[in-house]
Structure 1
C-alpha cells in the first residue's frame, strides 16, 4: 500500500507507464508476446520485433484488441545492422525508449555434447547471446541521452544453474547474458540505466516443442505460463526508476529441477 513521505512524495507506488515507449524482441510468441501485451495494456507504445511476420501479426491483433496500435519491425537479432536500424527507427519516431525487453531466443533439439554440432552451437549463441548484445548496444545511446531506461534481458534458470536438460550452447549463452547484463549495471548506473536479467525456470511456451524429450500437457500445465512472465515484466517496468532489480529468478512451484523430474 502506498504512503506519503514527509516531503510529500508517494512511497511504494508503482509508476504509470502511460504513453511511455517499449521495444520487445521475440514478440511473436511466448514470453515476448506476453510481455508486449501486458506493457500495452498498461498504456505503453509498443514496438514488436521478431523474425516471423505472421506471429508478430498475432501479437498485434491481441494489442489492437486493447485499443492500442503497436508497430511491427521485423528483425533477426543475429544481424547487428538490422538491430541498429530498428533502434534508429524507434528513436526517430518517438525520440525516446523507456523499456527494452530482449526476449528473442532459441535452442536446438540436438543439444547434448554427444549430439550438438558447430552449426547448432553457432545458431544458439548468435541469437541468444550475440543478439542480446547487439540489442543492448543499440539502445544504450538513446537511454544515455535521456538519462533513464530499463533493459530486461530474458535469460533463464539455465543462466544461473547448469543443467543437462538445456545443453551446453544454451547454458553458456544464458550464463553469458546474465554476466553481460550485470556489466551494464556496473557501467551505466551513472547514466540512470537499469538492467535486469530475468531468469525463469520452465515456461510453457513454443520453445518446448524443440525439446529432445516430448513434454506432456500435464507437465506443461504446472509450469510457469507466458502470462506469468508478462506480469513479471510489467512489474519490473512499473518500479520506480531508483530501483534496479539486477537479477530475478522465477520458477514454477512444481519445479522439476527440485523434484528430480529433470536432471
Structure 2
C-alpha cells in the first residue's frame, strides 16, 4: 500500500511550478488530491496526468485572494471527504515594479493579498477540518525572502513571506496539542514561472543550475510522510550554485 493511501491533500497554486510538482508527488504516493488555482486549464492538465497514473484528483479552481472563494473550497472538502490530512499552502506571486521607487498601493495590495492573506485564508479553512481528527500537516511555501532581507525579491514580497514564516510557527505553538504540525519551506532560487516576473531576465543556463520544482515537490512529500510525533518547523532548500554566495565571493574585499 502506498504511504499516503487514504490521505486527503489540498494543494493551492497547483497548476504550475512547486504546487504542480507537489501534487504529482503526493498523488504518486497514494494521496487523493484537491487542486486549486486561479486558472482551470492548468489544473485539469495536472489532474489528467495524475489520473493517467491511477491516482485521484479533484479540480477546484479559486482565487486564493478572495476569502469567500477559499471558504467554498473548504465546504467542498468538508462535504465530500469530511477530513483534510495535508495542506500544501503554495499559492503566491510577485510583480515587476517591486522597488520602493516604483511600488504603488495597488502593487502592495497584490503582494500582500497574494502571498499572506491567501495563506491565512487557507489555514482558517484547514484547521477546523484537522482538529477533530487530531492529526494533520500544513506545509507552506515561503521563501528565503522569508528569512533574509535583500533587494532581489522586493519589499512587499519579502515582508509578506516573513509573515508566512511567522504564521507557520504560531500554528505549531497553538495546534501542536491537537496533533497538527506546520512546516515553512523556504526555497532559494527555484526554476519556476515566477522567474518570468523578474525585472532582469534569468537565462536558461542559470535556471538549469537552480533548484527545480520537482526537488521542492519531493521535499514537500517527505514532510507530509513524516510520523505524527515529528514536526519539521522550518526547512531551507537552495541551489548548490547559490548566486548570492557566488556574487559575495566575487566582491573585492
TM range, smaller chain: over 0.9
Please name the residue that 1:82 is paired with. 69
Asked whether 1:153 is paired with 2:137, we answer: no
Q: Distance in 1 between matches of 2:148 and 2:176?
A: 26
Q: Distance in 2 between matches of 1:118 and 1:226?
A: 31
Q: Per-residue CA shift, 1:205-243, capped at 9, x if unaligned?
A: 000001000000000000000100110011001110111
TM-score (normalised: structure 1): 0.92
Asked whether 1:134 is paired with 2:121, we answer: yes
Q: Distance in 2 between matches of 1:146 and 1:19?
A: 14
Please name the residue that 1:224 is paired with. 211
Please name the residue that 2:179 is paired with. 192
Q: Distance in 1 between matches of 2:50 and 2:12?
A: 15
Please name the residue that 2:9 is paired with. 22
Please name the residue that 2:88 is paired with. 101
Secondary structure at the counterpart of residue 215 of structure 1: coil
Please show how residues 172-211 of structure 1 align to structure 2 within 5 Å. 172-211=159-198
Secondary structure at the counterpart of residue 88 of structure 2: strand
Q: CA deviation at 1:69?
A: 2.7
Q: CA deviation at 1:102?
A: 0.7
Please name the residue that 1:45 is paired with. 32
TM-score (normalised: structure 2): 0.96
Please name the residue that 2:227 is paired with. 240
| Equivalent position to 1:165, from 152, 174, 177 | 152
Q: Distance in 1 between matches of 2:53 and 2:78?
A: 24
Q: Distance in 2 between matches of 1:48 and 1:16?
A: 20
Count of equivalent residues: 249
Which portions of structure 1, spanning 4 or more consecutive aligned residues, are displaced by more than 3 angstroms?
Answer: none
Q: CA deviation at 1:60?
A: 1.1
Q: CA deviation at 1:254?
A: 0.5
